[in-house]
Amino acid sequence: MAGIRKRGNTFTVTVSMGYDENGRQRRKTTTYRPPDGVTPKKAEKLARQYAAVWEEQIRGYVSLDENRTFAELAEWYYTAVAPLTLKPNVLSVYRQGIGDHIMPALGKRRLGSITPAMLDSLFAELKRSGNLKHRYRLRKPSLCDGFTRDALSKKSGIDRVTLYTALRGDTVSRKTAEKLSAALGLPLESAFDDVTEKHGLSGATTNALRANLSAIFSAAVKKEIMRRNPCKLMTPLKNDTPPAAYLDEGQCRRLLELLAAQEDFQFEVIVNLMIASGIRAGELSALYWEDISLDTNTMFIRCTLVRVNGQYLRQEPKTKSSARRILLPESVVRLLRRHKLLQGQRRLAVGAAWKNAELVFTNQSGGFYLGANMNAKLKRVLRGTDLPQQLHLHSLRHTYASLLINSDISARVVADRLGHATTQTTLNVYSHVFAESETRAMQAIDLALFSSGE
């Protein structure tokens, strides 16, 4: 029942709305001013009638708290809700995306003021110029002369992989640039160049952000913190992400020839395995020798490599369907046998400093071989050749899928080999490849049966 307190010529009406997720009592308060000229007894009676009607109106929203800010809601979601359903590495990526792109615009907004039209404007701006994450490049590697990599890594608090990324001229985040500049005793602008290219976010990225934002609002609606999810009434976003890049058969052979001619045999094995199996880079980095049977030509995908709190570790794949068994061609198994022999020799030469004897593919000290470093290696192999320069590591997975599709392998088998949860995912990602395959099939029938031969 509403509480009523007379304050001068008005009445303060207070209704208890239960308790929030932290155990604090929620209250809704309003003020009633009776008409002029009524007696005190009549005024109190009118106030009680008003309080009863008002309480009935708001009782439909038991826990509504639309006065809290979006920043407060997101903090609640990422600490109390998301950890129950998301893996730590996925949660970290989602939270960073919301922090980088949504929080600057909505962080201080009251939930009740966030509208679908406001979100339409926000996402339109993100597609125009949403990439505001600054990237920095070390001006001269010689600035680090006088330091060993281990000493500089320890002094700056930057892991060796990220440090190597900066030293070879690749871009790093502002946070990394600031740490390294401080370790060198230099201002940021003296050690690094800001090479940020301002451009809009892709359709895939904006759709992912919208899905993550919608999940936050949906949780709030479910817990009766908000009346509705404003994302549900947004204008649909156009996905203008270009089709996945891949190599045709001739380009594949050319790439494999280039790899056979270079000195890094491990990398040759990596690319051959990726093209022959469609394995993801994270899955490849997490492979243990126990996951590969060289006697039965079988590879089991059981783990993927993730980064959690700055540390790399093996983790179960994102979905159950990602765990799978793949049969390997005999040619690739031969490469793996040779690679295992050579790796054993390197491990003996390094001795106790070798980090992990179970890993199939490693860096020079026997630790995880990261996808970013493999991708950089691929770029160096491609440089100056007639192969597509925009090719990246994930393109090898797309190449594998395209080879299967163009060999008339069913979508269900392709989905299973790629670790997709449903064939619809496969059809969506590779719709352009399926369309090309259908066109070639039509042309083959036309040539065989209907061509006049002229």
Same-domain check for residues 211 and 273: no
| Mean per-residue pLDDT of the chain | 84
**For residue 188, what is the domain's CATH number?**
1.10.260.40
In a domain, 186, yes or no: yes
131 has a pLDDT exceeding 80? no
Residues 360 and 380 in one domain: yes
Does residue 86 share a domain with residue 146? no
Q: Does 42 share its domain with 109?
A: no
Do 226 and 82 lie in one domain? The reply is yes
226 with 109, same domain: the answer is yes
Domain co-membership, 286 together with 332: yes
Say which CATH number the domain at 112 has: 1.10.150.130
Residue 279 shares a structural domain with residue 221: no
Residues 322, 279 share a domain: yes
413 inside domain: no
Q: If we measure between CA atoms, which residue out of 250, 260, 263, 242 comes closest to residue 392?
A: 242
The reply to whether 210 falls in a domain is: yes
Query: Does residue 420 lie in a domain region?
Result: no
Do 28 and 152 have their domain in common? no
Q: What is residue 129's predicted lDDT score, i.e. its pLDDT? A: 79
The answer to whether 419 touches 321, Cβ cutoff 8 Å, is yes
Listed residues 163, 179, 194: the one ending a domain: 194
CA distance 350 to 14: 74
Token readout for 57 is: 């109106």
pLDDT of residue 62: 46
**CB distance 46 to 54 below 8 Å:** no
Domain-embedded: residue 397: no
Cβ neighbours of residue 128 under 8 Å, at least 6 residues apart?
Answer: 200
Q: Are residues 277 and 372 in the same domain?
A: yes
- Please report which confidence band the pLDDT of residue 108 belongs to, taking 50, 70 and 90 as the band edges: very high
Taking CB atoms within 8 Å and a gap of at least 24, the contacts of 123-130 are 123/206, 123/209, 123/210, 123/234, 123/237, 126/101, 126/200, 126/201, 126/206, 126/209, 127/200, 127/201, 127/203, 127/206, 127/237, 128/200, 129/198, 129/199, 129/200, 130/101, 130/200, 130/201, 130/205, 130/206
Find the domain containing 146 and state its range. 135-194
Assigned domain for 408 exists: no
Residues 340 and 289: beta-carbon distance below 8 Å:
yes
pLDDT band at 451; cut points 50, 70, 90: low
Name the domain count of the chain: 4
At residue 285, the pLDDT reads 95
Average pLDDT value for residue range 110-122: 92
Q: What is the CATH number of the domain that holds 324?
A: 1.10.443.10
Task: Judge whether 244 lies within some domain.
Answer: no
Shared domain for 259 and 374, answered yes or no, is yes
**Segment 218-222 long-range contacts (CB within 8 Å, at least 24 positions apart):** 219/77, 219/81, 220/73, 220/77, 220/111
pTM for the model = 0.65
pLDDT digits (tens, 9 = 90+) for 372-418: 889 989 999 998 898 988 888 888 888 888 877 777 777 777 777 77
pLDDT 10s digits, 14-69: 887 666 656 677 777 889 998 988 898 898 989 888 888 777 666 554 445 677 89
Residue 96 belongs to some domain of the structure: yes
